[in-house]
């Protein structure tokens, strides 16, 4: 009878461990969803910025980088780099989007690149 008395509460320990594991898995899945959403937002911003810069190249203005930065900002990103010199027919942009992760921590960024080519033919 004393053996049964010593095992009391062992289910509570197992249940607590399972609960901690379930919570950790939930946090990881939320972080993964946030990271994937930020990556999609960054790619959308990069695509829009590259197309805006390419449009300015087609119009032969020197506003390609400014337009790329504006379109990146409108899509929740920051323009990191824009290779869109006037007189060329290709715009390559790099943008970043901040990600606030619960499990890993904040201060993370997601980068995306895009390229747009002006076809005058």
Instruction: Give the C-alpha separation, 66 to 86, whole Å.
Output: 12
pLDDT digits (tens, 9 = 90+) for 18-73: 999 998 898 889 889 999 999 999 999 999 999 999 999 999 899 999 999 999 99
DSSP state of 104: S
Q: Are 54 and 60 in contact (CB under 8 A)?
A: no
| Spatial CA neighbour of 95 closest among 26, 40, 16 | 40
Among residues of the chain, what percentage have pLDDT more than 70? 93
Higher local confidence (pLDDT), 30 or 92: 92
pTM over 0.75: yes
> SS3 for 49?
helix
């Amino acid at each position: 009878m004393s053996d049964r008395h010593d095992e009391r509460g062992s289910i509570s320990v197992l249940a607590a461990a399972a609960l901690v594991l379930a919570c950790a898995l939930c946090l990881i899945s939320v972080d993964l969803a946030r990271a994937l959403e930020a990556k999609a937002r960054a790619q959308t911003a990069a695509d829009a910025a590259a197309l805006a810069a390419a449009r300015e190249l087609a119009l032969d203005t020197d506003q390609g980088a400014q337009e790329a930065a504006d379109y990146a900002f409108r899509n929740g990103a920051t323009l990191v780099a824009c290779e869109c010199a006037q007189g060329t027919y290709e715009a390559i942009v790099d943008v970043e989007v901040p990600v606030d992760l619960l499990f890993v921590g904040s201060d993370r960024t997601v980068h995306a690149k895009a390229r747009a080519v002006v076809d005058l033919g």
